[in-house]
Amino acid sequence: MELSGGRLHVAGLLEEGKVGAPALSDGRARSAASPVRPGFAAVERGAGGAIVAGVGVGSDEEVVAFVVDGAGRLGPVAKTSLKVRAGELGVRLSGLPGGGALLSDEGRRFVVWLDEEGREVGAAAWPEGVAAAVCQDGSAGPRFYPSGKPGAFVEVEALAAPGTCVVGEPGWTTDGSLRWFGTRAEGRDVVPEAGVVRGLGAAVERAGGEDAEEVEEVKATAPRPCPPEMVLVQGKLCVDRFEATLVDTASGEELSPDFPVTPNLMEITLGDWSTGRSRVGGVHARAMPLPFLPGWQRGQKLNVVAVPRRLARPNGYLTGLVAESACAAAGKRLCTLPEFVMACRGQDDTPFPYGDTYVEGVCNVFREAHPAAILHDNASIGHLDPRLNHVRAGEAPLFRRTGATPACRSRWGNDAIYDMVGNLDEWVDEGSGAFAGGFYARSTRSGCDAVVTAHPRSYLDYSTGARCCKDAAP
């Protein structure tokens, strides 16, 4: 399933990977008006098809659920008692082996039990208690996890062990065990972990799914003016929903967001700061290690593509030239400055994504500290230090993951673009070089009109990132 242009497109995959039922005979996906916003989740349904849940269209907080049967038809949409914080996109959804699913917010504050038809059959606040862990990926393991019985939880000591982080959502299996993927801290090392705890639930014999029914052919599906990862702006422009993560086109691996992409600059930066970090800043700053740089990323020129991903650490340290080529590799381009401003102002055409007046803290901009001032005792030096976007102000990180500032969103219909003000400066196609929006420590209250034109396209530092645009399909 994918959501594009307000339509939910549904197709199946055959064992050999080809598109099959419930797609049309010519391979096009069936589509229907989507009841949910981007960020929805889906799990396999025991009777065939899927259970789907997400933030409902027409609401900022209300979560709805429904099923898509094996023939690709959408069932009735039911409201649930789960609510997310205004502007949050994601929900957690995991299937139960006896049928139905567990639905919760990403912060694991509340959980709803759904039956096979996507209807709520129970709800409860999630008990407090998580692992003592600082997680680079995923989240600290929860001490309690919902059982298959509505309203009931089981205590899982292994999930709450010190240093345990969970990536994605744990899942119940038919043998009654709870399993998860994540990481575990061992001293200074972080190692991947597959966790299994047996005997927590009863074994369940899963019934086979029903065959997909034949349904009446339709002449055409609705057009898709934008790819699913982009938002339609004024019916003519597609804009990436999130800031760009760079991906190696050959391997599909994400590049480190903390180093330049070009090999010579990467090696210079690595060499300079492997030793240079011990000569600037206070004792705590000097002890801060460099972030991890994958070995495969060194020693070769990589072909990279810009991919917008939710809750990712988007790439800084980008020149305008790299940003331009990464967008081109995705079949897109850099936004022009007028396009950026228009998209940022939203459908209500306001100076800030959220309204007419600057409100401190709504977007990740004009933060209380500057990372170079903390690391180097001087905000004006060392702007290629790979550690800068890992600096924290108190307990909070200065640099945030994409979409992690949910109120900072530019609304367009039932969709929104995130972080067009703050987090990273974003290169735009303007003159000899410009980036817009302001980054997290830039002292600006200009909102969507914030722009820097003082640097050529060959410039880069820790705060320069990218977002792509393209013309909407007719």
Q: DSSP secondary structure string, 396-434?
A: EESS--TT-STT-EEEETTEEEE-SSBSSEEEEB-TT-E
Confidence of residue 343 (pLDDT cuts 50, 70, 90): very high
**Which has the closest alpha carbon to 360: 421, 435, 451?**
421
What is the CA angle 180-93-6, rounded to 5? Answer: 135
pLDDT for 473 beyond 60: yes
Q: How far apart are CA 371 and CA 435, in angstroms?
A: 19
Interval 309-316 mean pLDDT: 96
Distances (CA, A) of 50 to 10, 18, 31, 69, 83: 10, 19, 15, 6, 21
Confidence of residue 218 (pLDDT cuts 50, 70, 90): very low
Interval 430-447 mean pLDDT: 97
Does the pTM exceed 0.95? Answer: no
Interval 286-312 mean pLDDT: 94
Query: Per residue in 75-98, pLDDT tens?
Result: 999 999 999 998 898 999 999 998
Domain made up of 230-471: CATH architecture: Alpha-Beta Complex (3.90)
pLDDT, the chain, mean: 92
Say how far residue 118 (Cα) sits from the centre of its chain.
Answer: 25
Interval 266-274 mean pLDDT: 96
What is the predicted pLDDT for the residue at 411? 96
What is the predicted pLDDT for the residue at 19? 81
Q: Spell out the long-range contacts of 183-192 with Cβ–Cβ below 8 A and sequence spacing 24 or more.
A: 183/135, 183/136, 183/137, 183/138, 185/133, 185/134, 190/136
Interval 424-438 mean pLDDT: 97
What is the predicted pLDDT for the residue at 24? 75
pLDDT for 216 beyond 80: no
pLDDT for 412 beyond 50: yes
pLDDT above 90: percentage of residues in the chain: 80
What b/e sequence results for 227-256 when a residue is b if at least 16 CB atoms lie within 10 Å of its CB, and e otherwise?
bebbbbbeeebbbbbbbbbbbbeeeeebbb
Interval 160-169 mean pLDDT: 91
Distances (CA, A) of 226 to 144, 156, 309, 400: 41, 43, 16, 26
Least confident of 9-23, 27-41, 99-113, 290-304: 9-23
Three-state DSSP class for 326? helix
Interval 8-21 mean pLDDT: 85
What is the predicted pLDDT for the residue at 206? 61
Distances (CA, A) of 188 to 110, 258, 287, 394, 430: 33, 19, 13, 22, 44
What is the CA angle 91-92-95, rounded to 5? Answer: 135
What is the predicted pLDDT for the residue at 208? 53
Phi and psi at residue 339, in whole multiples of 5°? -65, -45
Cβ pair 314, 465 in contact under 8 A: yes
Type and span of the H or E element at 264: helix 263-276
The 8-class DSSP code of residue 39 comes to T
Query: Per residue in 394-410, pLDDT tens?
Result: 889 999 999 999 999 99
Q: Is the model more confident about 430 or about 46?
A: 430
pLDDT for 251 beyond 70: yes
Q: Which sign, positive or negative, has the C-alpha torsion 261, 266, 269, 274?
A: positive
Cβ pair 148, 177 in contact under 8 A: no
Q: Which two tokens stand for residue 50?
A: 């899927």
Three-state DSSP class for 230? strand
Q: Enumerate residues 6+ apart whose C-beta is below 8 A from 275.
A: none
Query: Per residue in 20-45, pLDDT tens?
Result: 888 777 777 888 999 999 999 999 99
What is the predicted pLDDT for the residue at 222? 61
What is the predicted pLDDT for the residue at 28? 79
- Taking the domains of the chain in order of start, what are their residue ranges? 1-126, 128-206, 230-471
Type and span of the H or E element at 463: none
pLDDT for 223 beyond 80: no
The 8-class DSSP code of residue 335 comes to P
Question: Which residue type does 101 have?
Answer: A
**Which of 22-31, 69-78, 208-217 reaches the highest mean pLDDT?**
69-78
Question: Which residue type does 14 have?
Answer: L
Least confident of 11-15, 21-25, 433-437: 21-25
